[in-house]
């Protein structure tokens, strides 16, 4: 297993601002459908993933990739992953970081505390709810390549290879499951 602090946020790529601007007019519905499929797949493999939230099971989380023109809203009850241009104000907690850092957190490649101290990760709102979400993700040991490639049906194997290569390029060769 790799050391989570090995991939420092400074070494992780960000989406070029010009590309992010070009993505702004794209419709969110296709991304919403893909992410809903991924969430359903995760729930099939880990039906109790949100049980770890306990008293925070009704919390709404906003995830704002700093290098993308859209954000995500995560709800545990009922399970939902939404895509929005602007996060709503009535969220219980917000997470703000680059997309690569977010993926590295989900893959267990970086230490969330180190990202917070370096100000590459900003958490606002109910920190207890964020910690409960972090623990839920850690327990699930998510493999985003596996989850995404499963949506490709008979093309799953080549999709898995392509996604694994992309993950390796963005996050580095070593891979460990984990969370924030």
Strand partners, 74: 61, 81
pTM for this model (two decimals): 0.79
Question: How do residues 112-156 score in pLDDT, each as one tens digit?
Answer: 888 888 889 999 999 999 999 988 888 888 888 888 888 888 898
Cα maximum dimension of the chain: 44
Whether the Cβ atoms of residue 137 and residue 179 lie closer than 8 Å to each other: yes
Question: How do residues 8-56 score in pLDDT, each as one tens digit?
Answer: 445 677 888 888 888 888 899 999 998 888 888 888 888 888 888 999 9
Average pLDDT, the chain: 84
Which is more confidently placed, 104 or 72? 72
Q: What is the distance between the alpha carbons of residues 99 and 106, in angstroms, rounded to a whole number? A: 11
């Amino acid at each position: 297993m790799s050391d989570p602090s090995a991939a420092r946020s400074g070494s992780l790529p960000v989406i070029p601002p010009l590309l992010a601007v070009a993505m702004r007019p794209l419709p969110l519905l296709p991304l919403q459908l893909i992410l809903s499929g991924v969430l359903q797949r995760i729930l099939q493999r880990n039906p109790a993933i949100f049980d770890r939230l306990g008293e925070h099971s009704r919390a709404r989380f906003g995830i704002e990739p700093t290098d993308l023109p859209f954000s995500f809203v995560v709800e545990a009850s009922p399970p939902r992953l939404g895509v929005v241009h602007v996060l709503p104000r009535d969220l219980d907690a917000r997470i703000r970081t680059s997309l690569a850092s977010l993926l590295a957190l989900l893959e267990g490649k970086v230490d969330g505390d180190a990202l917070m101290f370096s100000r590459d990760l900003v958490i606002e709102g109910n920190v207890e709810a964020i910690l409960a979400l972090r623990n839920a993700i850690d327990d699930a040991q998510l493999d985003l390549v596996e989850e995404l490639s499963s949506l490709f049906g008979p093309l799953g194997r080549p999709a898995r290879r392509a996604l694994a290569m992309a993950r390796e390029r963005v996050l580095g060769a070593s891979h460990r499951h984990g969370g924030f």
